[in-house]
Amino acid sequence: MDLLLILRDALASSLVGSLLMALNAREAGKKVGVLITQEALAAVSVGSFEWPRELSGQELRLTMADRGGARGVPLLGRGEGRQLDAKGLISKAQEAGVELYACPIWTSLLGLEGKIPDGIQRLETAGLPGLIQDARQVVGTL
């Protein structure tokens, strides 16, 4: 794998930024993976991603929707209610060939066995060090 991004925050901005970076790298021909851990794993499995306060106002939300939509980012809603679809971007990344992995440590700690969405690969604990070690470049922390 050329690039492994580690996503641990349940902020929609972190998810969008990481997945857009992964998509850009994939479009450049790189083999890319995203390891989903901690609160991001809880959000993708049983919760939701929230926007940080500084990015949650209506005017900014509409600007991000318009600019993101022009780049092919999925949107939720229409008109004045439109916004980026953070979880919808997961499907787009999967379709583009970005490999998504559920952190086995946090899967166990959070009791998420059987709750990880389809398309996100479940790792065994013994496989985690190899995934990280074999990546040419790792961005993020556990």
Highest averaged pLDDT of the listed ranges 29-38, 48-57, 75-84, 87-96: 29-38
**Cα-Cα end-to-end distance for the chain:** 18
Question: In which residue are the tokens 């997961």 written?
Answer: 90
Q: How many percent of the chain have pLDDT more than 90? A: 76
Q: What is the pLDDT of residue 1?
A: 96
Structure-block tokens of residue 103? 């952190």
CA distance 13 to 26: 20
Domains of the chain by range and CATH? Answer: 3-49+87-139 (3.40.1260.10)
Q: What is the pLDDT of residue 78?
A: 87
Contact present, 43 and 49 (Cβ < 8 Å): yes
Provide the H-helix boundaries in 28-141. Answer: 38-46, 58-70, 86-95, 104-109, 128-134
Average pLDDT for residues 74-103, to the nearest whole number? Answer: 92
Q: What is the pLDDT of residue 129?
A: 96
Instruction: Please write the tens of the pLDDT for every residue from 12-21.
Output: 999 999 999 9
Q: What is the pLDDT of residue 103?
A: 97
Contact present, 100 and 121 (Cβ < 8 Å): yes
CA distance 78 to 12: 19
Helix (H, G, I), strand (E, B) or coil at 48: coil
Q: What is the pLDDT of residue 86?
A: 83
Q: What is the pLDDT of residue 56?
A: 82
**Nearest 5°: phi and psi at 33?**
-130, 155
Residue with the larger pLDDT of the pair 61 and 30: 30
Averaged confidence pLDDT in the chain: 94
Instruction: Please write the tens of the pLDDT for every residue from 89-140.
Output: 999 999 999 999 999 999 999 999 999 999 999 999 999 999 999 999 999 9
Q: What is the pLDDT of residue 142?
A: 85
